Amino acid sequence: MAGLSLECGDCKVQLRTVEEAQDHAELTGHTNFQESTQAVLNLVCTTCGKPCRTQTEQDLHTKRTGHSDFADKTAETAKPIVLESKPVAGTSDSGAGASAENASEMVVPEVNKEALAELEAMGFPTARSTRALHFTGSSNVETAVNWIVEHESDPDIDEMPLVPAESNTSMQSLLTPEEAKAKAQELVLRAKRKKEEEERRMEKEREKERIRIGKELQEARRIEEQQERQRIIAFRKAEKDEENRARLKIRQKLEEDKAERRRKLGLPPEDPKPAEAAPPPQEEKKPFVPLRPASKAEQMRECLRGLKQAHKEDDAKVKKAFQTMLTYIGNVAQNPNEEKYRKIRLTNATFQERVGSLNGGVEFLQLCGFQRDEGEFLVMPRDKVDAMLLNTAGSELNSAINNPFFGVL
């Protein structure tokens, strides 16, 4: 069987033509070439028509463009390797007559007339179309167009190819390995340079994209951390203010009780101490807090305060309600995909005893994201689960449970 490709004995690379073998030899210094019966792959992208000759080229093309559908046209473009002899004009033993004789023996190769006419109708010059059909050895218009695209920067792309007159009708002569190497050097060198330039360009674009994404992530992380710090500061300040108000009220209550006891014992009231003028309130620059968590936190705090004041005679029952709601919120925060934690039966006896019967219990759960359905359930849809909101609710419940002055006012 005739050879369909040239294989480099040093690196096992398959080359389609003698020209490619010559370029490969110049680039690598390899000189051990032999004919192979295995054709070079011709995997054509069905989306853009890009031909790929190896699996590696196919993978790179898919990575760059996203195209993954390829047609294997290896059998259509495979042709026997032909080692043509290159006539040398003006040799030392030839005169002007010999040169004229050699020139007269060079003719334009015969190509498929229909394919040539179709390429010309597409706007390609005759010389370029003839050259493409000749060097691809095929009458396939698509293959010829791909060859033109790949070699459009060749300096001789618009020169009519010439072959010895006898090559169209008889067996072509063979070149020595040295001549075959010299013939292929330029094309392979140009192809390698083009590939290296493309790889450098793609690497620069990838590096720019990595830098941009890194900056965006860093900025987003900084903003998130800043907002979290400001939210914690505002939350602690609110707790401190509430504790101060509770202490003041307790102090006033103690003074009233003391005055009542003196009155019952018939003792004169104590001289009231002159009230110290309260220092004028200083305006503090309020830190920026995300609007939604801050407003929700205030609503939750007011709801819990109202619940405790409405049932202040039974502190144990209020504390049990807070702990039960904290359990509901914690289960949803830890298992947002579990439907059983996002669904509460309103008629459940335990729920009614601990939460549902208390004024404000159901309202607090609704502030956390639970919604009443048409039946007898409180449901939190999966797309309504807000981790930040649940964390805020948990903080408010912990404060209400652990702060002895919570809800005194």
Reported as a single tens digit per residue, the pLDDT across 277-330 is: 555 556 555 554 444 445 788 888 889 888 888 888 888 888 899 999 999 999
Cβ atoms within 10 Å, residue 245: 13
pLDDT digits (tens, 9 = 90+) for 187-198: 567 767 888 888
Q: Is the pLDDT of residue 340 over 70?
A: yes
Lowest mean pLDDT among 77-86, 103-112, 202-211, 235-244: 77-86
pLDDT digits (tens, 9 = 90+) for 38-53: 777 888 888 888 888 7
246: exposed, middle or buried (C-beta count within 10 Å: 0-12, 13-18, 19+)? Answer: middle
Longest dimension (CA), the chain: 150
d(C-alpha 388, C-alpha 395), whole Å: 11
- Angle subtended by helix axes 387-402 and 315-334, to nearest 10: 160
Alpha-carbon distance values, 245 to 41, 248, 254, 302, 322 (Å): 84, 5, 14, 15, 22
Question: Three-state DSSP class for 345?
Answer: strand
Structure tokens at 244: 């101060």
Give 155 or 205, the one with higher predicted confidence. Answer: 205
Amino acid at 45: C
Alpha-carbon distance values, 319 to 99, 173, 336, 349 (Å): 112, 102, 25, 18
Question: What is the mean predicted confidence (pLDDT) over 246-255?
Answer: 90
Strands (DSSP E) contained in 42-196 are 43-45, 51-52, 70-72, 106-107, 163-164
Q: What average pLDDT is seen over the chain?
A: 79
Question: What is the mean predicted confidence (pLDDT) over 328-344?
Answer: 91
Residue 132 pLDDT level (bands cut at 50, 70, 90): confident
Is the pTM of the predicted complex or chain greater than 0.85? no
The position carrying tokens 């192809």 is 191
* Helix locations, 265-276, DSSP H: none
Question: What is the mean predicted confidence (pLDDT) over 359-371?
Answer: 89
pLDDT digits (tens, 9 = 90+) for 65-102: 888 888 888 877 777 776 654 444 444 444 444 444 44
Amino acid at 383: D
Beta-carbon contacts of residue 315 (< 8 Å; ≥ 6 apart): none
d(C-alpha 103, C-alpha 4), whole Å: 30
- Whether residue 326 contacts residue 398, with contact meaning beta carbons closer than 8 Å, is answered with yes
Q: What domains are there in the chain, each with its CATH number?
A: 86-173 (1.10.8.10), 290-402 (1.20.58.2190)
Positive or negative, the CA dihedral 63, 66, 72, 76 is negative
Q: Is the pLDDT of residue 231 over 80?
A: yes
Question: Three-state DSSP class for 30?
Answer: coil
Give 177 or 217, the one with higher predicted confidence. Answer: 217
Half-sphere exposure of 297 (CA within 13 A, CB side): 22
Q: What value does the CA radius of gyration of the chain take, rounded to a whole number of Å?
A: 44
